[in-house]
Amino acid sequence: MPIVVVLSLTTFLAWYISGNAGSFPNSWVPNGHTLFLFSLTFGISVVVVACPCALGLATPTAIMVGTGVGATNGVLIKGGDALEKACHVSCLVFDKTGTLTVGLPAVVHTFHLHPSISERECAILAGMVESASEHPLAKAIVKYASEVLSQANGETPAAFASPENVDIQPGFGVICTLKSASFLEYAKKHKVASSIRPNHDLHVCVGNRKLMQQEGISLPESADLWMKKEEENGRTAVLFSVDRIVTSIFAISDPLKPEAREVIDYLKGMGIDCAMASGDNWRTAHAIGRQVGISNIHAGVTPGEKVDVIKQMQRENQSVGMIGDGVNDSPALVASDVGIALGSGTDIAVEAADYVLMRDNLEDVVMAIDLSRATMRRIKYNYMWAMVYNIICIPLAGGALFPSTHLQMPPWVAGGAMALSSVSVVCSSLLLHAYKRPVFRVELTGIKVNSSYLGVSDVNLEGSLM
Ligand code: ADP
Ligand code: MG
Mutation choice for ligand 1 from 167, 206, 328, CB with most ligand atoms inside 8 A: 328
Rounded distance from Cα 73 to ligand 2 centre (Å): 23
Pocket around ligand 1 at a 6 A CB cut-off:
95-98, 130, 133, 135, 137-138, 171-174, 206-208, 236, 238, 278-280, 326, 328
Per-residue pLDDT tens for 425-466? Answer: 899 999 999 998 888 765 545 555 454 444 444 444 444 444
Residue of 202 and 406 predicted with greater confidence: 202
Lowest mean pLDDT among 17-26, 60-69, 76-85, 169-178: 17-26
Rounded distance from Cα 30 to ligand 1 centre (Å): 83
pLDDT at 127 over 90: yes
pLDDT at 10 over 70: yes
- Closest ligand 1 atom to the C-alpha of 324? 4
pLDDT at 387: 85
Considering only CA atoms, which of 436, 409, 458 is closest in space to residue 46?
A: 409
Mutation choice for ligand 1 from 280, 297, 305, CB with most ligand atoms inside 8 A: 280
Per-residue pLDDT tens for 214-243? Answer: 999 999 999 999 999 999 999 999 999 999
pLDDT at 252 over 90: yes
Is 95 an active-site residue?
Answer: yes
The pLDDT of 268-291, averaged and rounded, is 93
Mean pLDDT of the chain: 87
